[in-house]
Structure 1
């Protein structure tokens, strides 16, 4: 479960709005969550779309979006797997889970979409559940990457695929919110952690310099090399 927010966090909207935004991005809550959700979909849209496309899904498959935030990825995955497939959405924010449940009420009712308050390190009890998993812009908030990638690997079917979307560390360091608790790891260190957990990894860049507003997809396969 997510760590409770410190007392007085809501006051930051007046005293330190950048820190308030950083807290909201990490764990949307309250009224602010309704503002952050569309921001997440807009700002992360290109990376989310690239991640969903890179999963190479087929109708009828079972897929998960971990840390789905504003929910853009859920809609893309629902379209890809179709009515015979199933999408699982996991997020550590109750506000985001509730929002997604309202947005896709018919799909939740039919069982095509299943939503849970759950973190990436807590996929125990779901062995070989998914054909594919994606997680976008979540690694900054994960303390133990080894545990996270072990957890996702256990939940993937043989020959499954995990796609990890992450902002370029150089770009991320320039964002004001990066001063407030984000863990900015090198792309190589994330890739090495995936390889240590038995994944075969392909690195894809999304967006290019000179703007520096670039992102990375680490496409991790469980199939043997």
Structure 2
């Protein structure tokens, strides 16, 4: 493997599970590069300000900050210890005030009680989930009746043309497969938003329990 290929492989691994100093750099990069997508995803939740919201796989923490401005309390679940530590430093006041609770764990085993949150957002995470059926079942389990879930993903056709992603473990699924899995989990489709983002297309699948 050449130097360029080795760098790309390392970056792809960091995108899935940021760790160490490189992970902190990647977290800051994700906040910049994904800003438009995360802003639109949070807006699609149509929060009233009274909900308890959840950001799954919050990465650099941009979504946490947006949710804290728009709702009562926020939960964040993240598999990367590096990103958890970063968020604990960034949002220490909100954590101390009880407005933000951060937990470690995967999307397939969310450390939350049944029906405990009213709105859930996750962007650019399902590429790193082996079992989306189980992941969406977990989302449905912790979501309260009538609650909203917004899933943000890059355009699968365009992502499939990127060797760095395809060759380094990204699970790129057709939108039809994701939509079917959401429905099977008991999450009713409300709308599908599509927009240009970072040279690729981006999709928001907006659902309700």
TM-score range for the pair, normalised by the shorter chain length: over 0.9
Query: How far apart, CA to CA, are the structure 2 residues paired with 1:37 and 1:125?
Result: 24
- What's the CA shift string for 1:8-43, capped at 9, x where partnerless? xxxx98870000001100100011012101111112
Query: How far apart, CA to CA, are the structure 2 residues paired with 1:127 and 1:189?
Result: 25
Q: Structure 1's 197 and 15: CA in aligned 2 closer, same or farther, altered over 3 A?
A: closer
> What SS does the aligned partner of 1:207 have?
strand
2:90 aligned partner: 103
1:56 partnered with 2:46: yes
Cα deviation for residue 69 of structure 1 reads 0.3
2:119 aligned partner: 132
Query: How far apart, CA to CA, are the structure 2 residues paired with 1:38 and 1:152?
Result: 26
Q: Structure 1's 37 and 13: CA in aligned 2 closer, same or farther, altered over 3 A?
A: farther
Query: How far apart, CA to CA, are the structure 2 residues paired with 1:152 and 1:15?
Result: 35
8 A contact 1:203–1:216 mirrored in 2? no
Question: Larger strand proportion, structure 1 or 2?
Answer: 2
TM-score by length of 2: 0.93
8 A contact 2:77–2:110 mirrored in 1? no
Query: How far apart, CA to CA, are the structure 2 residues paired with 1:15 and 1:138?
Result: 23
Query: How far apart, CA to CA, are the structure 1 residues paired with 2:121 and 2:158?
Result: 22
Over aligned residue pairs, what C-alpha RMSD do you find? 1.9
Q: How many residues align?
A: 207
> What SS does the aligned partner of 2:153 have?
strand
1:146 aligned partner: 133
Q: Tell me whether 32-41 or 88-97 shows the greater mean CA deviation.
A: 32-41
Of 6, 16, 41, 1:26 maps to 16
TM-score by length of 1: 0.87
1:4 aligned partner: none
Query: How far apart, CA to CA, are the structure 2 residues paired with 1:162 and 1:55?
Result: 7
Q: List gaps (5 residues or longer) in structure 1.
A: 1-11
2:37 aligned partner: 47
Q: Structure 1's 200 and 33: CA in aligned 2 closer, same or farther, altered over 3 A?
A: same
